[in-house]
Amino acid sequence: MSYFGTKINPKYYHKSQIKFYLFVLPLAIFMVLPIIYIFVTAFKPIDELFAFPPRFYVVNPTLDNFRDLADMTEGSGLPMGRYILNSILITFFVLALSLLFSTMAGFALSKKKFKGKSLLFEINTLAIMFVPIAVTIPRFLIISELGIINTFMAHILPLLAVPVGLFLVKQFIDQIPNELIEAAYVDGANDFYIYLKIIVPLIKPAVATVAILAFQSTWNNVETSALFVNNAELKTFAFYLTTFVTQSNSIAGAGIAAASSMIMFLPNLIIFIFLQGKIMNTMAHSGIK
């Protein structure tokens, strides 16, 4: 389709697109400034952190903030690597299991027929309304009754349920034609084969979205280490970063806070960059084309 001989949406660069760049580029630069500031601040020495007037950029970059952070964790009796390893292991298991449960439950709620299906989905939708702080006491009572306080399961089990993720997955699977599922049944496929070979490949955008949600909620989680775990060897990196920043005085702790903010933010940025295209497809509900 063209307008006065020029394509409305040319496949490659065309001078008619300049007007869009003039609008989008300033907006993109403005939105990326906070991200740049996080990285720049992490390498600022103390005198630049408290310089007045404040400077956005760093003049004399240094790694002292990261060294101070490592020294502080050494002073706690455990190396920083132990906390990072705990966070990596916990995040891996939560991510893998939450994806498995969300996709299986979404398949069942979308394509299977059984009593109470609508009620279960309504309960999941209702759970989206509750912020984590509102269910802290019931969660503590359940974890206590299960006998998993002060264990790795206290980190993993409460985070396996991702109501928003299940909602997105279920809505995404709803767009898969029922005729495709019925044809697979006619060919002799069982539920597990259909789930693995048909459902999962078609809902990759939704899976990517759930992965980001599960990763962020687990990697940044502080409440579990504070409320359900007393053993320092089982606590997460996010908890200790928060503890060190809180215990440090305002001057000496400023550099540590800047370094810890960058360390916690970087994995979230990386996973979002790799999966952001899938997220946009999920939000647009672009099922089978």
Residue 4, pLDDT score: 44
Under the banding of pLDDT at 50, 70 and 90, the label for residue 103 is very high
Per residue in 184-204, pLDDT (tens digit) is 888 888 888 899 888 888 888
Per residue in 235-271, pLDDT (tens digit) is 888 888 777 666 555 566 777 778 888 888 888 888 8
Residue 93, pLDDT score: 93
Confidence (pTM) = 0.78
Residue 63 has pLDDT above 60, yes or no: yes
Q: Which of 48, 47, 65 is nearest to 57 (CA)?
A: 48
Torsional sign, CA 177, 179, 182, 188: negative
Residue 114, pLDDT score: 85
Under the banding of pLDDT at 50, 70 and 90, the label for residue 277 is low
The CATH number of 75-283 is 1.10.3720.10
Residue 85 has pLDDT above 70, yes or no: yes
**CATH 1.10.3720.10 domain residues, the chain:** 75-283
Residue 2, pLDDT score: 45
| Percent of the chain with pLDDT strictly greater than 90 | 7
Residue 131 has pLDDT above 70, yes or no: yes
Torsional sign, CA 160, 165, 167, 169: negative
Type of residue found at 18:
I
Q: Are the C-beta atoms of residues 159 and 98 closer than 8 Å to each other?
A: yes
3-state secondary structure string, the chain?
Answer: CEECCEECCCCCCCHHHHHHHHHHHHHHHHHHHHHHHHHHHHCCCHHHHCCCCCCCCCCCCCCHHHHHHHHHHHHCCCCHHHHHHHHHHHHHHHHHHHHHHHHHHHHHHHHCCCCCHHHHHHHHHHHCCCCHHHHHHHHHHHHHHHCCCCCHHHHHHHHCCCHHHHHHHHHHHCCCCHHHHHHHHHCCCCHHHHHHHHHHHHCHHHHHHHHHHHHHHHHCCCHHHHHCCCCHHHCCHHHHHHHHHHHCCCCHHHHHHHHHHHHHHHHHHHHHHHHHHHHHHHHCCCCCC
Q: Which two tokens stand for residue 82?
A: 């132990």
Under the banding of pLDDT at 50, 70 and 90, the label for residue 76 is low
Mean pLDDT within 101-129: 88
